[in-house]
Structure 1
Amino acid sequence: MMNRVTKILVLSDIHGNIDIVNYILKNESYEYAISCGDHLLPKEYMNSNFDFCVDGNNDIYYDESYLKSPSLDFEIEGYKFHIEHGHMQGDYNLLKSPKELFEQVKALDFDFFLYGHSHFPINYYDKATKRYLINPGSTTLPRWGSKPSYVIIELKNNKEYGNVSIIPKEVTIK
């Protein structure tokens, strides 16, 4: 079998900082780009630079037509993805507790549950169900001692024969 790696760039809570996003988009290698909301950037920009994105609680203040897509489900390489901003799930304490959040969302059909809102990076893998909860943190406004961050998900081959690597990244502009 041929080794194929699909790289997925995951960002959240950009809060209008287009310079950081442009830098990341230009300097990372990826096949798909995902935003988990609170981008506060023009829809045209998001649609032309991201393959999948959902709106966050602050996006309505930027454009009243936002919040049309609070969650999105799709597949890449046989893996099921569910993305949402996270603000619909509860307060920040829940979003910082991956085990509690997993209990709340485990009935959904996903291999990867991607979310933002807390501005705090989390990479949680539930061994029993082989499913991931991933919050890339915030590229712009980190909280609780974290640094500006995003995530690269590497899917090696496909779901049936492959494996997954989650690579947390700090935002560094040179």
Structure 2
Amino acid sequence: MKVLIVSDSHGLTSELSQIRDMHPNMDLMIHCGDSELQADHESLKGYAAVRGNCDFEAAFPEDRIEEAGGLRFFVTHGHRYSVKSTLMNLSYRARELKADIVCFGHSHGLGTEMSDGILFINPGSIRLPRGRTEKTYIILEIREKGVTLDVYDISDGKIPELTQKFLLVKGH
């Protein structure tokens, strides 16, 4: 089972469609907010999207829960949880929701962290990355004994040295 995770596209349209078209066999596609598009925009077709601090469309939910491969995903932009300074608020909410994986954006910084059995994923930004030059998104492959996380640059494809594996206990 595969999950595509993208965030902070800030008005890009053809790039979102390009990513979707390059990876047609995804079981779930997530957009962690700041698309700056209307919720029904063609470029967001197929993405489970949330509202970021730069999204003004009321049709976007602030947060959402998605299920894939027996795992519970908590999707949010992150601005309401102060993710630029701490993951603690996000962690508390993830535990309340019994999430296995948290997908968020806002900081534009690519990063992953395993904390108390919960995997936190920030796919970076495909428009304005911070902390690196690559414009990144993530594909997570759910396997029987955990997940494999691959990072992609929108122009150059998979970045092999950033591949990570995590052991997850479903429904911990």
Match of 2:37 among 34, 41, 50: 41
8 Å CA contact 2:83–2:106 kept in 1: the answer is: no
Deviation of the 1:17 alpha carbon: 0.7
Change (3 A) 1:91 1:162: closer
> What runs of 5+ residues in structure 2 fail to find an aligned partner?
158-172
Structure number, greater radius of gyration: 1
Deviation of the 1:31 alpha carbon: 2.2
5 Å-filtered alignment, 1:1-174, equals: 6-29=1-24, 30-45=26-41, 49-60=45-56, 63=57, 65-66=58-59, 68-90=60-82, 92-94=84-86, 100=88, 103-105=91-93, 107-108=95-96, 109-126=98-115, 129-156=116-143, 161-172=144-155
* RMSD, aligned α-carbons: 2.3
- Corresponding residue SS for 2:81: coil
Q: Aligned partner of 2:62: which letter?
A: P
> What runs of 5+ residues in structure 1 fail to find an aligned partner?
1-5
- Corresponding residue SS for 1:44: coil
Partners of 2:132 and 2:19 in 1: CA distance: 22
Paired residues, what number? 155
- Tell me which of the two structures has the higher relative contact order, counting C-alpha pairs closer than 8 angstroms and 6 or more residues apart: 1
Partners of 1:58 and 1:13 in 2: CA distance: 9
8 Å CA contact 2:14–2:43 kept in 1: the answer is: no
Change (3 A) 1:35 1:48: closer
TM-score for both structures, normalised by structure 1: 0.78
Displaced runs of 4+ in structure 1, greater than 6 A?
A: none
Deviation of the 1:91 alpha carbon: 5.5
Deviation of the 1:107 alpha carbon: 2.8
Deviation of the 1:120 alpha carbon: 0.6
